[in-house]
């Protein structure tokens, strides 16, 4: 199985600034990635949405997804949610929207506060998605209202819409203390449409004082085992690499991650049993 790969644009944000969308695409194409990714965090990123339709022709890449964050504190009619709905109405060149859901003081989907606002938003959003052929993939994110993969599954089960799925986020799964990868992926399987991976190690110096985000071959999180579990599940979708606070030589780290991934992929093809660990 040769997976199609993308790098999340979080690789290109650091304390000096953000690489231009064009530079990102040119680097990824040169390194052999199949797709790019756009996080809608800034005015510039929102402006870059209009560039998505020309990415295949200009750079030979597809667009794996655009990432947006819904803040469910203010209800579905607040400006933030309306902007996301406008995006769904107008976006071209991208058929996957990955959705993180924040909730301010409402810290967890498990406590149900905010659920109705989220469901109302998704009801409206998925009607647009159905008409326009767009998927919304719920993005579990530590410290967000929807922080566990189980929370995303509960929402998918409740909404039960064919345009609603989940992206598996290796870093957020590991950082939250999860270790049963086969169990998690089995739970996600009806809704799993995309996956992103990162090297990671629990560390107070890491993201949010929880864990590091590193190139794929680094850290304590065993990505060979995660990849083996994805293969056993029969997952055939795109796989992305997450970065955060990456500097030094960003290009080299992206190269290192894709090289490590292809090496692991080759080994799993030759020795699938290696990735089955004893617990």
Instruction: Provide the binding-site residues for another protein, judged by CB under 8 A.
Output: 179, 181, 199-201, 203-205, 214-226, 260, 263-264, 267, 271, 273-274, 276-279
Shorter beta-carbon distance to another protein: residue 17 or 209: 209
Residue 206: both structure tokens together:
């890491």
Per the CB < 8 A criterion, the answer to whether 210 and 236 are in contact is: no
* 157 burial type by CB count under 10 A (0-12 exposed, 13-18 middle, 19+ buried): exposed
Shorter beta-carbon distance to another protein: residue 39 or 184: 184
User: Which of 124-135 are b and which e, b meaning 16 or more Cβ less than 10 Å from the residue's Cβ?
Assistant: bbbebbeeeebb
Kindly list the distances between the CA atom of residue 19 and the CA atoms of 53, 54, 216, 240, in Å, as whole numbers in the listed order.
19, 18, 21, 18
Shorter beta-carbon distance to another protein: residue 42 or 263: 263
**CB of 214 vs another protein, minimal distance in Å:** 7
Shorter beta-carbon distance to another protein: residue 90 or 263: 263
**CB of 151 vs another protein, minimal distance in Å:** 22
Shorter beta-carbon distance to another protein: residue 132 or 267: 267
> In degrees, to the nearest 5, what angle opens at C-alpha 176 toward C-alphas 172 and 180?
95
**CB of 19 vs another protein, minimal distance in Å:** 24
| Spatial separation of the C-alpha atoms in residues 166 and 267, rounded to whole Å | 27
Please name the helix (run of DSSP H) or strand (run of DSSP E) that holds residue 192, with its range, or none.
strand 192-197
**CB of 266 vs another protein, minimal distance in Å:** 10
**CB of 244 vs another protein, minimal distance in Å:** 15
Shorter beta-carbon distance to another protein: residue 85 or 225: 225
β-partners of residue 6 are 35, 240
**CB of 13 vs another protein, minimal distance in Å:** 22
| Measured distance between the N- and C-terminal CA atoms of the chain, rounded to whole angstroms | 26
| Spatial separation of the C-alpha atoms in residues 53 and 11, rounded to whole Å | 22
């Amino acid at each position: 199985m040769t997976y199609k790969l993308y790098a999340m644009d979080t690789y290109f944000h650091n304390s000096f600034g953000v690489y231009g969308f064009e530079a990102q695409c040119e680097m990824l194409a040169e390194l052999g990635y199949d797709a790019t990714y756009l996080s809608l965090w800034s005015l510039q990123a929102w402006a870059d949405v209009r560039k998505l339709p020309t990415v295949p022709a200009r750079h030979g890449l597809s667009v794996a997804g655009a990432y947006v964050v819904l803040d469910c504190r203010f209800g579905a009619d607040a400006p933030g949610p309306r902007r996301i709905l406008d995006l769904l109405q107008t976006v071209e060149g991208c058929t996957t929207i990955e959705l993180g859901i924040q909730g301010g003081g409402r810290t967890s989907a498990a406590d149900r506060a905010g659920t109705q606002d989220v469901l109302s938003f998704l009801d409206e959003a998925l009607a647009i998605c159905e008409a326009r052929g767009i998927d919304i993939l719920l993005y579990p994110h530590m410290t967000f209202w929807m922080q566990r993969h189980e929370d995303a599954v509960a929402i998918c089960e409740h909404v039960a819409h064919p345009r609603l799925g989940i992206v598996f986020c290796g870093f957020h799964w590991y950082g939250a203390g999860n270790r049963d990868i086969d169990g998690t992926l089995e739970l996600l399987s009806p809704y799993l449409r995309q996956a992103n991976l990162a090297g990671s190690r629990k560390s107070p110096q890491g993201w949010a004082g929880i864990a590091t985000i590193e190139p794929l071959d680094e850290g304590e999180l065993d990505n060979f085992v995660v990849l083996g579990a994805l293969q056993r599940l029969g997952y055939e979708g795109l796989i992305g690499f997450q970065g955060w606070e990456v500097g030094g030589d960003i290009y080299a780290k992206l190269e290192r991650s894709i090289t490590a991934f292809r090496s692991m992929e080759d080994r799993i093809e030759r020795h699938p049993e290696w990735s089955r660990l004893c617990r």
